[in-house]
Amino acid sequence: MKILTFSTLFPNAAKPHHGIFTETTLRHQLATGEIQAKVVAPVPWFPFTHKAFGQYGVMARAPKVETRVGVEVFHPRYTVIPKVGMYLQPAGIARAAKPVIARMIDEGYDFDVIDAHYFFPDGVAAAMLAKYFRKPLIISALGTDINLIPQYPRARSMIKWAGEQATHSITVCEALRREMIGFGMDGSRITTLRNGVDLELFHPIDRAAARKELGMTDFTLLSVGYLDPRKGHEHIIGALPQLPGVRLLIAGSGPDKAKLEAVATAAGVAERVTFLGPLPQDKLRQYYGAADALVLASSREGWANVLLEAMACGTPVVASNVWGTPEVVRVPESGVLMPSRDAAGVAAGVQQLRANYPDHAATRAYAELYSWDDTTRGQIDLFRRAAQQPMQAKARATASAS
């Protein structure tokens, strides 16, 4: 079976960690040996590649075509109009991708299903393309595409339309599925398939050796994520005055670094906060395995991959009680849910974890319940059913005509 993976959230040579979860999903699908794949991952058009232009300059350096995880990846350019072009993006992405996909089909890769990730703008664009090329479509909802963007009525209408065009939709947690049903989407055509964790990549290491190498002596918290308000890093920093002797490491990049540094200084804890910048996954594994706890204080999440990644390394978590997170942090071995999403809630969660700290082996054993196997099997089964629907419709039409 041939699939076309479609998403703007996919890594490229210029930005190798961008949307890495989409590539991870594809890698596990390919590992079954049951599918072939090509990827169309549009990137914003921008005329300059200099680092002075920030993320737009970085994305401008993405190649037009590259090979990743053994498959061809195409990066057509679409126009972005900052601040005012939100509702134009789906059509712009579809317009940019259409000739690439048409050429792909002409050259012999006539795929069976479009596998689209992220409902807006990606899923809406994919729905336009599926309609044009007459292909079955699966769209996966990941988080903010359902728990944030639909607060804009026009975007919600477009998301709902895309869901109606899709053969089936996937959500990474039940909370997102309930939300989609709540704004009028057909629950019988939405399946929850939670993300898995790569248990080979993320695994326990020699904790004592890693702590010595990284200079960890005190109880150490790790926060991983983009540096913006949604991730709640400021709440973790704000909790440190209530957690004497506790240190915090923050992995990630983003626009709020200077602001967070100022928060740490104002709270009098700057010497206990270290900004690590973005880390490759093998280096992140070392920090997961050395830290005493991962803390995630997000305001919204679909299925936060960092939670299971930390647990797979044997490290429990303290997390905000939002959206799909309670579906991940379910037992004491996994960690605790903080009572409130603020500095006091973070402090209380850390204190609760320390008072009943789980065995690292038990935390790892819990993470092992979340391998990719079942999720990948569910995805491929949905692809096969979707691919069969056009044939069934054609058979019904032929029978009716005779």
| In the predicted structure, residue 6 carries a pLDDT above the cut 90 | yes
User: Which amino acid appears at position 375 of this protein?
Assistant: T
Tell me the per-residue pLDDT of 239-257, one tens digit each, with 9 for 90 and over. Answer: 999 999 999 999 999 999 9
Do residues 190 and 47 both lie within one domain?
Answer: yes
- 274 & 365 share domain: yes
Asked if the structure places residue 399 within a domain, the reply is no
For residue 53, pLDDT over 80 is answered with no
Same domain, yes or no, for 379 and 363? no
pLDDT digits (tens, 9 = 90+) for 344-400: 999 999 999 999 999 999 999 999 999 899 999 999 999 999 999 764 444 444 444
Number of domains in the chain: 2
- 74 and 185 share one domain: yes
pLDDT, tens digit (0-9, with 9 covering 90-100), for 255-283: 999 999 999 999 999 999 999 999 988 99
Is the domain of 77 the same as that of 129?
A: yes
Confidence grade of residue 46 (pLDDT, cut at 50, 70, 90): confident
The answer on 384 and 247 residing in a single domain is no
Lowest mean pLDDT among 126-135, 192-201, 389-398: 389-398
Nearest to residue 250, comparing CAs of 266, 267, 231?
231
Report yes or no on 177 lying in a domain: yes
pLDDT tens, residue by residue, 61-79: 999 999 999 999 999 999 9
The parent domain of residue 292 ranges over 207-369
Helices (H), 32-112: 54-60, 89-106
CATH number of the domain to which 349 belongs: 3.40.50.2000
Q: Is 402 inside any structural domain?
A: no
In the predicted structure, residue 175 carries a pLDDT above the cut 90: yes
Same domain as 29, residue 115: yes
Closest CA to 334 of 301, 309, 355, 351: 309
Is 151 part of any domain?
A: yes
Residue 364's nearest CA partner among 329, 316, 314, 317 is 314
pLDDT for the residue numbered 2:
97
Domain identity same for 187 and 220: no
Cis peptide before 47 (omega within 30 of 0): no
Question: Does any domain span residue 230?
Answer: yes
pLDDT exceeds 90 at position 40: yes
Do 86 and 129 have their domain in common? yes
Residue 52 in this model has a pLDDT that exceeds 80: no
Q: Is residue 102 located within the same domain as residue 222?
A: no
Percent of the chain at pLDDT > 90 equals 85
Res 390: pLDDT? 61
Average pLDDT over residues 233-237: 98
Higher confidence at residue 147 or residue 236?
236
Q: For the chain, what is the mean pLDDT?
A: 93
CA dist 68 and 20 (Å) reads 11
Residue 395 confidence (pLDDT): 43
What span, in angstroms and rounded, lies between the C-alpha atoms of 352 and 290?
20
Q: Helices 124-133 & 89-106, crossing angle to 10 degrees?
A: 40
Residues 92, 50 within the same domain? yes
Q: Above 70 in pLDDT, residue 124? A: yes
Report the alpha-carbon distance of residue 116 to residue 126 in Å, rounded. Answer: 6
Residue range 135-139: mean pLDDT, rounded: 97
Are 358 and 338 within one domain? yes
What string of DSSP letters covers 205-255?
A: --HHHHHHHHT--S-EEEEES-SSGGG-HHHHHHHGGGSTT-EEEEE---T
Domain presence at residue 400: no
Q: Does the pLDDT at position 86 exceed 90?
A: no
Residue 201 lies in a domain: no
- Which residues fall within 8 angstroms of residue 337, CB to CB, at 6 or more apart? 318, 319, 320, 321, 325, 326, 329, 349
Structural domain contains residue 261: yes
Q: Which residue has the higher pLDDT, 350 or 51?
A: 350
pTM of this structure: 0.86
pLDDT in tens, 305-343: 999 999 999 999 999 999 999 999 999 999 999 999 999
